[in-house]
Amino acid sequence: MSLGTLGPADAALLLALAVTVHNVEEMVWLPGFAHPPALRWDVPARAFRFAAVVVALAFWAAALALDAGLPVEPLVAGFALAMILNALVPHLALTVALRRYHPGTATGLFLVAPAACAYLAAVDAPGRVRDIAFLAGAGAGLALLAASVPLLVALGRRMG
């Protein structure tokens, strides 16, 4: 079976696994990464790790919900799109701008982005561009994931 022939549930599980590996890379190396002063990184390691774990768990929950037959395809499509964008900005953009590896770039580009594209292919996202309900769900998924990270970091700060 190739990535192009995965069903939506299998592709969502693959995406959850890729996001987990990506987030582990970030949890290990990002807190100690020396950001330039213009890109001040003042997020405590514990708060960042909390957010990364919750995001990974959200991907697993969405994948399992899809596997159980719940209609979350559009939501997961939004998550997938958010993670493709995340691989490009900040990861690839910072690697290029800083002229050194930014933690999360390799796993973002070589694991997460292909898994996200496989998911989008599995749900025929390009063919559903005119499906307003699908687009609304995908937009909601993208917005939810983007908004959740700063909120989860703030919650992580409060917790410890």
pLDDT tens figures, 106-129:
999 999 999 999 999 999 998 998
Residue 3 has pLDDT above 90, yes or no: no
pTM for this structure?
0.93
Angle at 122 between CA 119 and CA 127, to 5 degrees: 110
Measure the CA–CA gap between 34 and 57, rounded to whole angstroms.
Answer: 27
Q: What share of the chain in percent tops pLDDT 70?
A: 98
What's the one-letter identity of residue 99?
Answer: R
What is the signed CA dihedral for 9, 11, 15, 21, rounded to 10 degrees? Answer: 110
pLDDT tens figures, 17-36:
999 999 999 999 998 888 88
- Who has greater pLDDT, 40 or 100? 100
pLDDT tens figures, 94-109:
999 999 999 999 999 9
Mean pLDDT within 60-83: 97
Mean pLDDT within 58-63: 98
